[in-house]
Amino acid sequence: MKQISTKPAILSRGEFEAIFRSVSNWGRWGAEDERGTLNYITPQHIRDAAALVRSGQSVTLSQPLNMVAGPDNPRPSVHHMVKMYDLPLSPRGEPQFVGDFLGTEIHGDSRTHVDALCHVAYKGQIYNGQPTSIVTSQGAIRQDITAYVNGIVGRGVLLDLPRLYGVKWLEPGHAVTTDELERAEKAQGVQLREGDIFLFRTGHHRRRLELGPWDNSYEGQGQAGLHPSTMRLLHERSVAAFFPDGDGETVPSNVEGVAYPIHAIQIAAMGMACADSLQFEDLLNVCAQQGRWEFMVVACPLFIPRGTGSPFNPVAIL
Amino acid sequence: MKQISTKPAILSRGEFEAIFRSVSNWGRWGAEDERGTLNYITPQHIRDAAALVRSGQSVTLSQPLNMVAGPDNPRPSVHHMVKMYDLPLSPRGEPQFVGDFLGTEIHGDSRTHVDALCHVAYKGQIYNGQPTSIVTSQGAIRQDITAYVNGIVGRGVLLDLPRLYGVKWLEPGHAVTTDELERAEKAQGVQLREGDIFLFRTGHHRRRLELGPWDNSYEGQGQAGLHPSTMRLLHERSVAAFFPDGDGETVPSNVEGVAYPIHAIQIAAMGMACADSLQFEDLLNVCAQQGRWEFMVVACPLFIPRGTGSPFNPVAIL
Amino acid sequence: MKQISTKPAILSRGEFEAIFRSVSNWGRWGAEDERGTLNYITPQHIRDAAALVRSGQSVTLSQPLNMVAGPDNPRPSVHHMVKMYDLPLSPRGEPQFVGDFLGTEIHGDSRTHVDALCHVAYKGQIYNGQPTSIVTSQGAIRQDITAYVNGIVGRGVLLDLPRLYGVKWLEPGHAVTTDELERAEKAQGVQLREGDIFLFRTGHHRRRLELGPWDNSYEGQGQAGLHPSTMRLLHERSVAAFFPDGDGETVPSNVEGVAYPIHAIQIAAMGMACADSLQFEDLLNVCAQQGRWEFMVVACPLFIPRGTGSPFNPVAIL
Amino acid sequence: MKQISTKPAILSRGEFEAIFRSVSNWGRWGAEDERGTLNYITPQHIRDAAALVRSGQSVTLSQPLNMVAGPDNPRPSVHHMVKMYDLPLSPRGEPQFVGDFLGTEIHGDSRTHVDALCHVAYKGQIYNGQPTSIVTSQGAIRQDITAYVNGIVGRGVLLDLPRLYGVKWLEPGHAVTTDELERAEKAQGVQLREGDIFLFRTGHHRRRLELGPWDNSYEGQGQAGLHPSTMRLLHERSVAAFFPDGDGETVPSNVEGVAYPIHAIQIAAMGMACADSLQFEDLLNVCAQQGRWEFMVVACPLFIPRGTGSPFNPVAIL
């Protein structure tokens, strides 16, 4: 594969916090707000998104539930059969039924999910200045995933960074800059704007499919993601939601003393609806065929009261 | 509440099987087909559904995940916190994260979910004549929920039976007939047609909210649902999916020796995408305000390989 | 059944706290102690217990794991098969294996288990004056169940209160007093002494078997148990462990403003190894046959690091 | 470490089946028997075992529950807090309680557990000639773990093979022969006899502690264990139970076309109570100090109706 040289600027904690403050949406939609940047999405945006449905196709953006332990999945999901076709017929007669059980942690790499705003705290504060005490052993009493229960519905825009460079994926450590995002926009002829659901592709999932899962943490090989300076762009453009194929973070990070700066800013400062570990391999083909990178997205977390997130299966409808 | 007299015909097993055969779609879309009546939904149907998005609103059709044991929920779902804000800061620094675990049976009353076609067998046969041996202790090796992974997307039509009678809900045992469905269509000015997602409201969920959960099985009070003769109507109209607020079954059933005849016919004979335990309370208000009973529906099961169904959160977009 | 009149004294909070202080073992075995009253059991006690093995019989004191939701079991345990004999033979050849999964809350009525000392706090303090912060979202970092990992082994003494009155069980609300315990000792010809494992039978489990499970909480019918004044006796006698058929608590309690005073004193003040929800129905027969109420007991919690207790299966060996 | 040369004989399938038949206990204790070799343990054996309690010490033989995925633990156990000290005080007042949840597969390497007789089938047959259909999706309807619910109690004898060679552990692939067992007996001055619980130490757990977990399957490095020919010795000696530190199997096996021959013979042919993944590191020290290799063992599986085994915590009492 081509070598891309990238020397991302390392930010001091002060520089990081300056970004944090400058893009913060605390108080913007009221002290009680729990929807954060989803407030950008107006009914008009939803109508416009629906108008993008032209070919009548829908495409999953989810990975299959990962039930195999590995370097990026230390606590795998479980799927158990609870009833099979081996039982005697009910005295009531036919039919027969089977059933199963699903057990899964909600967060975690290689598990397609969406975060609630309570999921992240920076310096002891959650989005909108809420204290960490809103998360109890009985779940989150505010800022839980039910804030998104009517779905995340809007225009999706896919920026495919590997395409910009003609590579299959960005290598671990690559921190995508504002300049690169804007070049990707230009190359693809599309632009992020108010209320958009931003699908950010580093090729994380493609790399995983081809090379196998890897330890993408600080202890391992790391991963490609965004540079914290891009947060200003997302803020200016009033992006509503962020759907990456990894989790958006560059590992190791580009901020001294801050390990996952993208989550801190997106979720705790901006109140952005952020997902994790999507896959765009199917969508990519459809987009290429149709020569367009915008479409309707519908993404519905499960209705989990007090949940800090949810597994989900977002779809692009084109 | 008003008393509605209903004396549904009791069918013999022979009559039931005549219906089963007459509406069967086995072989219709090929011996390998796993999508059943979703085959009715063409790209044009999806475009038409998107064109119904006029007010730019989306509304959940899901109940909250039910974590309280009760007469219709003997094995409640569990939600556990796995990480809280009480841990020492990582040596890498901020931010902090919390996470949780979800454990749930997929099927079961009072749990919003969708069935895979492998979920039901009649006389040892699954949709398309598949044997019950396709369901193993490792899950379903065919006809699993991944057949729907790109989502169930189309025009939703809500028929609200209590509205027809001016009541809050149909009482347990009420078996809705073809005549009643057609009268509801007429009263609401809407008609089920090819590729539709049929939202069927008996008021089951409303009754549950007002009177509390009840034992809706044969051992208990039973429930309102469809009469098996309505299957012919759904077949003629080429309905693609069935989304009821209960599970569509009348209990006790109207067939001698067949306990859950609706599941048998819809899933095993027709290969219909069937959901369970939705709620239409929010949607009802929006429909009433807008004076229409059709809308776009997007319903995406989780991507559970070998799953016999999935919890999900369908939305209506209007 | 016979009527037993019992008018247990109601204690003020002050009287309760006087008992709490007078039986407290905080500091007795050092500031770091995590074994509490198990310290009473010396090697000599274990030898003496082994010497009680005369007939060579062992008897379980455990109820079967309760997988049925009910008024005293709102979150039932689950048992799932994970592998069955329906899979193709391994390419390596025979044999074939099956396996299963167990999911269970550790505490809870009608679930035989033992509590770790971290399980209870009174006024924000755990046994030995430990703060509640030793219990984190990652489990207990001190006073966890691993303190008992070498087993609770010693002389068991069964006091059978229903026998004293010639009844099948004590009715809910009955608070057993010191006088009643001493009368039971006399009637059975046995006496609690240093290092003993005290098996306390109210007939809770027998009542459950005959009448079915009931709501034994404050919202329901309550249950028979100990009166808090008996704590002085257990302290004087240097009892090492407490194994009741209910959980030892009288509901409603006999202390104003303290809901579960027995747990508070036994566990938080005395540091006593306390179990819950045992059954003595099999043991009772053997004891009656042999005309003795003392025997060896071996009770081994699972080795659960950071656990606040454990399901277990104690046995009496006679 | 010393090199031990061992060239274990490879058996043909015919030779293996000859052993299988010659040690089979099918029918020996009746067609309905579910206790297998535990029938060897008489009350006298239990009395004799209790008489071995001389120093009044009890020692766990369990590993800590393994919650970390690894090459020998692909589906780790989970331990979740379900209630913590962060909740508001009950209106009833003090005390406060915490609780947790345990989820675990029962079988699996590096997880201390005991197998029920239903766990293994050879050529479609379970111990005593039972068909595999006794294991259903609702668990085992015969030969389940409740057969052992009164505990496995008897004389334990530890044979420490590494001690024989002056090494820390036997290397993977080492198949211990009858000759080696007898030499170990002689060297340790102890002999397996009727009704014994045989603790078999290869040093598996010690190796794991020092080198870390490894893939002990056919795909990986394998492991040390017994040679199938030793089954005749265990049969002649009327051994009641088998408690190894690995699982007793040599990997790769010493039988053509049979992958886990020890399980096949011990469990399916002999009906032996077999455990898995114990640790003897603590016991070893006590035995060395006391200069004896026999002691009382008490091992109590949880009371899991229909379970194919159970996690447990066996103890040696000396």
Cβ–Cβ gap C76/B68 under 8 Å: no
Residues in chain C within 8 Å Cβ distance of A84: 84
- Facing residue for C137 by CB, picked from B76, B84, B138: B84
Q: Left if phi > 0, otherwise alpha if psi is -120 to 50, otherwise beta: which for D317?
A: beta
D21-52: per-residue pLDDT in tens?
999 999 999 999 999 999 999 999 999 999 99
CA–CA distance, D292 with B241 (Å, rounded to integer): 72
- Residue C7's pLDDT is what? 75
With a threshold of 0.80, does the pTM exceed it?
yes
Residue B316 bridge partners (DSSP): B59, B297
Q: What is the mean pLDDT of residues D147-166?
A: 98
- Residue B3's pLDDT is what? 61
pLDDT at A160 over 90: yes
CA–CA distance, C258 with C261 (Å, rounded to integer): 6
Cβ–Cβ gap D106/C105 under 8 Å: no
Residue D258, chain C, CB below 8 Å: the answer is yes
Across chain B, which distance is largest between two alpha carbons, in Å? 71
Residue B123, chain D, CB below 8 Å: the answer is no
* Interface probe, candidates B98, B115, B262, B283, chain A, greatest A C-beta count within 10 A: B98
Q: Indicate the pLDDT class of residue D6, thresholds 50, 70 and 90.
A: low
Cis peptide before D252 (omega within 30 of 0): yes
Residue B137, chain D, CB below 8 Å: the answer is yes
> How many CA atoms does the CB half-sphere of C198 hold within 13 Å?
31
- Residue B221's pLDDT is what? 96
CA-based torsion, C73, C75, C76, C77: positive or negative: negative
Q: Indicate the pLDDT class of residue D91, thresholds 50, 70 and 90.
A: confident
Q: According to DSSP H, which parts of chain D are helical?
A: 13-23, 43-50, 161-165, 178-188, 204-211, 230-237, 261-263, 281-290
CA dist list (Å): C131 to B177, D84, D97, D243: 65, 13, 13, 40
The DSSP H or E segment spanning C163 is: helix C161-165
Residue B138, chain D, CB below 8 Å: the answer is no
Q: To the nearest whole number, what is the mean pLDDT of chain C? A: 96
> Which residues between 188 and 247 in chain A have a beta carbon less than 8 angstroms from any beta carbon of chain B?
218
- Residue D90's pLDDT is what? 87
Calculate what percentage of chain B has a pLDDT beyond 90.
96
Residue A84, chain B, CB below 8 Å: the answer is yes
Residue A137, chain C, CB below 8 Å: the answer is yes
- Residue B2's pLDDT is what? 58
Closest CA to D277 of D211, D220, D178, D209: D209
Q: What is the mean pLDDT of residues B57-67?
A: 97
- Residue C5's pLDDT is what? 62
What residues have CB less than 8 Å from D292, skipping those under 6 apart? D190, D318
Angle in degrees, CA B60, B65, B68, rounded to 5: 145
CB pairs < 8 Å spanning A and D: 44
Shortest Cα distance from A102 to chain D (angstroms)?
A: 13
pLDDT at A24 over 60: yes
- Facing residue for C137 by CB, picked from B69, B78, B81: B81
Shortest Cα distance from D240 to chain B (angstroms)?
A: 32
CA-based torsion, C250, C251, C255, C261: positive or negative: positive
Residue D98, chain B, CB below 8 Å: the answer is no
Measured in whole angstroms, the distance separating CA C284 from the mean position of its chain's CA atoms is: 17
Q: What is the mean pLDDT of residues A209-238?
A: 97
Shortest Cα distance from A85 to chain C (angstroms)?
A: 11
pLDDT at C297 over 70: yes
Which DSSP state fits C303? -
pLDDT at D130 over 80: yes
Query: What type of residue is A114?
Result: V
- Facing residue for B80 by CB, picked from D82, D86, D137: D82
> Which residue of chain B has the CA closest to A311?
B302
Residue B288, chain A, CB below 8 Å: the answer is no
C186-209: per-residue pLDDT in tens?
999 999 999 999 999 999 999 999
D295-305: per-residue pLDDT in tens?
999 999 999 99
Residues in chain D within 8 Å Cβ distance of C10: none
Residue A75, chain D, CB below 8 Å: the answer is yes
Residue A80, chain C, CB below 8 Å: the answer is yes
- Residue C8's pLDDT is what? 81
C122-152: per-residue pLDDT in tens?
999 999 999 999 999 999 999 999 999 999 9
Residues in chain C within 8 Å Cβ distance of B86: 133, 136-137
Count CB atoms within 10 A of the CB of residue D27.
10
Closest CA to B116 of B138, B148, B139, B141: B148
pLDDT at A2 over 70: no
Contact call for residues B306 and B144 (beta carbons, < 8 A) = yes
> Which residue of chain C has the CA closest to D137?
C81
Chains that touch C (3 or more CB pairs under 8 A): A, B, D
- Residue B6's pLDDT is what? 65
DSSP chain A: -------PPPBPHHHHHHHHHHH--TTTT-TT---GGGGG--HHHHHHHHTT--S--EEE-PPPP--S-BTTBSS--EEEEEE-TTSPPPTT-B-EE-EEEEEEESS-TTS-EEE-GGGEEBTTEEGGGEEGGGEETTEESSS-GGGGTT-EEEEEEEEEHHHHHTSSSPPTT-EE-HHHHHHHHHHHT----TT-EEEEE-SHHHHHHHH-----STTTT-B-EE-TTHHHHHHHTT--EEEESS-SB-BS-SBTTBS-HHHIIIIIIT--EEEES---HHHHHHHHHHT--EEEEEE-----TT-SEEE---EEE-
B113-163: per-residue pLDDT in tens?
999 999 999 999 999 999 999 999 999 999 999 999 999 999 999 999 999
pLDDT at A132 over 60: yes
Residues counted in chain D: 318
Residues in chain A within 8 Å Cβ distance of C101: 78, 80
Residue C89, chain A, CB below 8 Å: the answer is no
More confident residue, B4 or D121: D121
CA–CA distance, C126 with C143 (Å, rounded to integer): 9
Q: What is the mean pLDDT of residues C232-251?
A: 98
Shortest Cα distance from A277 to chain B (angstroms)?
A: 13
Cβ–Cβ gap D120/C60 under 8 Å: no
Contact call for residues D80 and B80 (beta carbons, < 8 A) = yes
Residue A81, chain C, CB below 8 Å: the answer is yes
pLDDT at B80 over 90: yes
- Residue C91's pLDDT is what? 87
Burial class (CB in 10 A: 0-12, 13-18, 19+), B182: middle
Residue D27, chain A, CB below 8 Å: the answer is no
Cβ–Cβ gap C218/D92 under 8 Å: yes
CA–CA distance, B241 with C258 (Å, rounded to integer): 55
- Residue B8's pLDDT is what? 81
Residue D263, chain C, CB below 8 Å: the answer is yes
pLDDT at A1 over 60: no
Shortest Cα distance from D249 to chain C (angstroms)?
A: 12
- Residue D7's pLDDT is what? 75
> Which residue of chain B has the CA closest to A55?
B43
CA dist list (Å): A98 to B28, B147, D221, D305: 25, 17, 39, 21
Residue B257, chain A, CB below 8 Å: the answer is yes
- Facing residue for C84 by CB, picked from B74, B133, B137: B137
Residue D308, chain C, CB below 8 Å: the answer is yes
Helix (H, G, I), strand (E, B) or coil at B174: coil
